[in-house]
Amino acid sequence: MSARHDNVKPLKSDGQVRLVLDQKGLDAARRSLDDGAVTPSYGPWREDIIKLLNDALATEIVCMLRYKRHYYTAKGLSSPAIAEEFLVHAQEETAHSEQLAERIVQLGGEPDFSPSNLLDRSHADYDESADLQAMIRSNLIAERVAIEAYSQMIALIGDKDSTTRRVLEAILSQEQEHADELSDWLTP
Ligand SMILES: [Fe+2]
Ligand SMILES: [Fe+2]
């Protein structure tokens, strides 16, 4: 894994800038069949990216659990519509966790579903509020934390792994929708 994506830059020849591929990277991709879809362009970043994705996976699982808790305990409260929204978010956080786990495996890593240190690895918190507005508030805080974490991950990854970046961008836009929806329910 010596070739790096960073080496793929427009090449200057005869005073002209040319867009050409790095042949060494292509040759290395041909050689290491054991790495599956992981090609040398991931270079030294693969392990860091897997760690970032595993922390995001822990966050999604905690968010799913928090929304489930809120869905079941908010049921008897004033707004069934808000409880339904919590359920939809729980399902979408579950889908996010599956996308992240799938990408971790594609990168040759192991998705960490261990419950033992889930909260330590998660960026967002669990919450057992009984009051509906307190639930909405804690979910909004968690969504804002998730938005910040995904934005930072996307900036860090940049062009080092475009597939992972696209996965994260799609998740980020859904977290922004979640935050928007929660803001609408929040009474000032
Ligand atoms: Fe999510
Ligand atoms: Fe979310």
The bound ligand whose nearest atom lies closest to the alpha carbon of 95 is 1
Closest ligand to Cα 88? 2
Which residues make up the environment of ion ligand 2, defined by Cβ < 5 Å? 143, 175, 178
CA of 19 to the centre of ligand 1 (A): 37
Burial of 37 (0-12, 13-18, 19+ CB in 10 A): exposed
Of 60, 57, 85, the closest CA to residue 184 belongs to: 85
In angstroms, what is the span from residue 126 Cα to ligand 2's centroid?
Answer: 13
Cβ atoms 19, 88 nearer than 8 A: no
For residue 164, the CA-to-ligand 2 centroid distance in Å is: 18
Compute the distance from residue 32 Cα to the ligand 1 centre, in Å. Answer: 34
| Ion ligand 1, residue ranges at CB < 5 A | 60, 93, 96
Which sign does the torsion angle of CA 84, 177, 106, 119 carry? negative
* Token pair recorded at residue 2: 């010596």
Print pLDDT tens along the chain (188 aa).
Answer: 334 455 566 666 677 777 777 778 777 777 776 676 666 666 678 999 999 999 999 999 999 999 999 999 997 666 789 999 999 999 999 999 999 999 999 999 999 999 999 999 999 999 999 999 999 999 999 999 999 999 999 999 998 999 999 999 999 999 999 999 999 998 87
Question: Which ligand is in closest contact with the Cα of 145?
Answer: 2
